[in-house]
Amino acid sequence: CAHLGSNRFSTGQQPPAACLMHSCSGIVFALCCGHALRVAAAGGFVGGFLHDLAKEAPSIGEVEKALSTEGTDAQSTASNHSRTGGSVMKGLRSVFGGIASEARDIASDIRSASKDAREEASDAMEDSVWSEDENELGGHTKTFNNALLAVLIGIVALAAAVGHLAEMRFCPTSLRASGHPRGWVIGVLVASYGMLIPAVQSVLFSFNIYMSLQIGSFGDLGYNLTRRPITESMFSVIGLLFETGGTAGAYCVILYAMVLPTLKVGLLALGELWRNSEDAGRRRVSSVCILLVQVTSKWATPDLFAYILLLFLFRHMHHPPLVESEAVLDVGFCCFGVFCLCSTLSTLAIHRPPPAKGAEEAVGNAQYAAVGQARRPAVLELLGKDGALLAVAVLEVVFAVLLLAGVLTPCMGLHLDTAMLLKPKGPIPRSMDWVLQDAIDALELRPMLRAEVSVWHCLTALAGYAAGGEAACIMAFTMLSVFAVSLTVADMAMLAFATFSFGAHGPNAAMAVSRVLKHISMLDVFCMGVFVVCLAGKAYGSVGFNLELRLGLLPLACAEAVHCLTYHLVSGADRGLDEGGSGDESCSPAAEDRLPVVKVAPDGL
């Protein structure tokens, strides 16, 4: 219409006022279309444009004056059209003034609605958002935990001293010679089991994670992902697992933390009751019970190793000011750790009962009759001594490679789910999810919400925590570095030395040491602990913390499998040589002239 009006004006087909009406009609049409598309954003601009257009309306008079020389008729016609154009412009001013006013009202309503939305979101977050000052841990302070651990160790030492003095003072010599546990062993066991009750009831592990984000119109958002500091005891973990469907994990925690310690007490009592029985069967049962106590003692500790790794994972996510993550090993960890270590070490000092006299003679006669048919151990029968040495050497190398790979590779991971920030669990409406994701990407926050841990990284971190004066971390470092890694390596070294001693006269001292180390090396317990806690990680998945196994657990488990295989090969060969003689003498006729000696493993092992 504007183009048509300009053409007709230039060609003189219509008077100026009519042409102006055509032009204004085109402008009105274009502006109405723009108003329909983006009235809220363009309302102010349209109003301003129309205001300027209205100011320029008197220029029609100039056009009228310029055309007055064309004659009276033309002047009259122009005057009529001028009056008509003036009335049209007044109407246009009124129309577009109403449009501009409506646009301003709509823009005002949008601003008001946005403000109300922000206020509503802020009100919704009041109950769930914590300030940075409230990002504190539950449980107990570092000073309290350090003092408690010192007290626990002092109690164990005092109990051992009291038990020893009581034995010297009140126990007759005949009772001490009967093979029952010494007084200090009983004292340590009583003290350690006394710590088991507070260990399962007290806070084992406490953690808290706080995030600070700048999310669009919400401004700075400080949100505590844990809502409040999470303090977990053994009972609370079990209850949470049952509530969230982690039944398998709950039963595993109950088995290792409660059933096995209770079972050890029953087995130990039965073994001591029948220790000196004249019945050969009961004495064998007593020996088996003591052996089971020694074998199962270390299997109360899997959960502790997993919580040591969790300590590293949560502290590794500490990236202030965006993410502040704190974690601490608390009273329950100290109590349970002292219980596990003391009970495991003390049970190794309990001797297994020897066979009854009648049974010993029967066994001796049976062995004497079978000496002529004795066979060498399978590993020596198949490979010979040199082949056995080579086989053990290969196993040692494979173990070293697998252990090194497992120690350096992450074995456990933790991932925080940002969906927990959305309603109904979080403060942000689900419609704003794209804003949340953009804010996380802009702040490069995603790598901070993931953490992985390897044994090596955990050890180096624990060394730093211990240097900072955390006594619980000193115990954690000892458990992981000494019992899980170093003692397993030492046991493999003893097995290698024991292999070189095949055929030597006298007892195999390296094999005797290996039997002790096998019961206190805890690489197998460590692997099981990581698996059980990841299995039980469903309890934390409901609050956005996803625990995951990593590839590093596989070489660690394979290294432990090689360790067990090597132990059984070497110990079986050693027992076969002890019972049948060394080298080829066990199969020679001259061997029939010697009575075999029935041997009991040293120190009950």
The CA-based dihedral angle spanning residues 151, 154, 156, 160, taken in that order and rounded to the nearest 10 degrees:
-160
**DSSP letter assigned to residue 180:** P
CA distances from 605 to 14, 512, 598 (A): 121, 8, 15
* pTM for the predicted model, two decimal places: 0.69
b/e code 216-243 from CB counts within 10 Å (16+ = b):
eebeebbbbbbbebbbbbbbbbbebbee
| Phi, psi for residue 453 in degrees, rounded to 5 | -135, 135
Please, which residues have CB within 8 angstroms of residue 559's CB and are 6 or more apart in sequence?
399, 402, 403, 406, 488, 523
Could you tell me which of 126, 313, 77, 298 has the C-alpha nearest to residue 227?
A: 126
- How high is the mean pLDDT in each 10-residue block of the chain (605 residues)? 46 48 49 45 44 48 48 51 56 63 66 58 46 53 90 95 92 77 93 90 81 59 59 75 76 87 92 89 92 91 88 84 82 92 92 69 45 50 76 94 96 81 69 71 75 93 92 94 96 90 75 91 94 76 78 96 92 60 41 38 46
Strands, E assignment, 79-218: 205-215
The CA-based dihedral angle spanning residues 491, 492, 496, 502, taken in that order and rounded to the nearest 10 degrees:
50
Return the pLDDT at 8: 46
- Rounded-to-integer distance, Cα 21 and Cα 23, Å: 5
Return the pLDDT at 378: 58
Could you tell me which of 571, 484, 566 has the C-alpha nearest to residue 530?
A: 484
Return the pLDDT at 573: 65
Please give the radius of gyration of the chain, using alpha carbons only, rounded to the nearest integer: 43
- Rounded-to-integer distance, Cα 133 and Cα 210, Å: 10
Q: Kindly state the tokens that stand for 102.
A: 């409506």
C-beta separation of 409 from 550 below 8 A = yes
In the beta sheet, which residues pair with residue 190? none
Return the pLDDT at 521: 94
Return the pLDDT at 141: 83
C-beta separation of 212 from 443 below 8 A = no
Return the pLDDT at 128: 41
